[in-house]
Structure 1
Amino acid sequence: MEEPSSQEIEVLLIEDDLNDAEMICRTLSKNGWEKNLKHVEDGAVALELLRELKECGRAYPKLIILDLSMPKVNGSEVLEVIKTEETTRNIPVVVLTSSMEEKDLKRCYALGVNSYILKPVDYSEFSKTIKSLGQYWLQLNLIPN
């Protein structure tokens, strides 16, 4: 894995579906939140990136958008690591998934997810959902340094 760039990562998108990732990135960009957005395609890469940021003494992302169904390390496993580590537990994590399974919802909240959002199928609704997510988590929500 390449070294993290010298710029702070504000939003870490962990999403293996490239179409969904593109729509998320495009919507965030369209609304002015593309600055320092980092996309990775699987949970293993995301956890490695977070370890590298810690080792380098760099700031963690201000928001993590996380899909559940991913290769190698799935989203709930990534969430568990993030929320059990003292240095990362305060990072807001939004699960953005197509899973309507009650067991997934319960597990994510038991692990400490900050929000669980279903991916709309309709492009327009998907875009509105990402815009609302960005407004709340990147403009309105306050987090400690």
Structure 2
Amino acid sequence: MLVEDNPDDAELTRRLLRRICQDRDIFLAADAEEALRCLEGLHDEGAGLPDLMLLDIKLPRLSGMELLERLKGSPKFRGIPVVMLTGSIVSEHIQRSYDLGAVTYLLKPISEDDLLLTLSYLT
């Protein structure tokens, strides 16, 4: 699942994911609330939850950090590995991401090599 509000970043990342993970469904949410609705729907339908979430830190209304905190506080969703996406290297954001349970973070725009390395680490 990709949670990204910037259409250009979302399209670039989606293309990379499709190229790397050809046999996987890719769910795209434009904000944290849409991501939560999608996760709840998948859970309620008995469908499998995402193997990974790429989550933008800066989202409208509910931030990526707030969504991460909710996910890791939920027995239903805490097992989803979350990779935070950021356009800057603000050390407080990075440390807070790890404190809340993110597995790592990637700088935007995401490179194919960084994404491949992250995916190989998580599988």
> Normalising by structure 1, what TM-score?
0.76
C-alpha separation in 1, matches of 2:88 and 2:81: 20
Say whether the 8 Å CA contact 1:96–1:119 is kept in structure 2: yes
Deviation at 1:40, TM superposition (A): 0.9
User: Aligned letter for 1:73?
Assistant: L
Residue 127 (str. 1) matches residue 111 (str. 2): yes
Report how many aligned residue pairs link the two structures.
123
Percent identity of the aligned residues? 34
Partner of 2:58, secondary structure, is: coil
Deviation at 1:34, TM superposition (A): 6.5
Alignment partners' CA distance in 2, 1:32 and 1:55: 25
Equivalent residues of 1:28, 1:134 under 8 A apart:
no
Distance of aligned partners of 1:59 and 1:32 in 2 relative to their CA distance in 1, 3 Å threshold: closer
Q: In the alignment, does 2:17 pair up with 1:28?
A: yes
SS in 2 for 1:59: coil
Match of 1:37, SS state, is coil
**Match status 1:118 vs 2:107:** yes
Aligned pairs for 1:33-112 within 5 A: 33=22, 35-112=24-101
Bigger CA radius of gyration: 1
Q: Is the 8 A contact 1:50 1:60 kept in 2?
A: yes
Where structure 2 has 5 or more consecutive residues not aligned to the other structure, the ranges are none
Q: Distance in 2 between matches of 1:132 and 1:118?
A: 9
- Does residue 16 of the first structure (1) align with residue 40 of the second (2)? no
Deviations 1:75-134 (Å, cap 9, x if unpaired)? 0011001111112111110001113222211211110001112214xxxxx333xx4324
The residue identity in structure 2 corresponding to 1:132 is D
**Alpha carbon RMSD of aligned pairs, Å?**
1.9
- Say if 2:106 and 2:114, in contact at 8 Å, map to a contact too: no
Residue identity in the other structure for 1:133: L
Cα deviation, residue 68, structure 1: 0.8
The answer to whether 1:141 aligns with 2:96 is no
Q: Distance in 2 between matches of 1:34 and 1:24?
A: 16
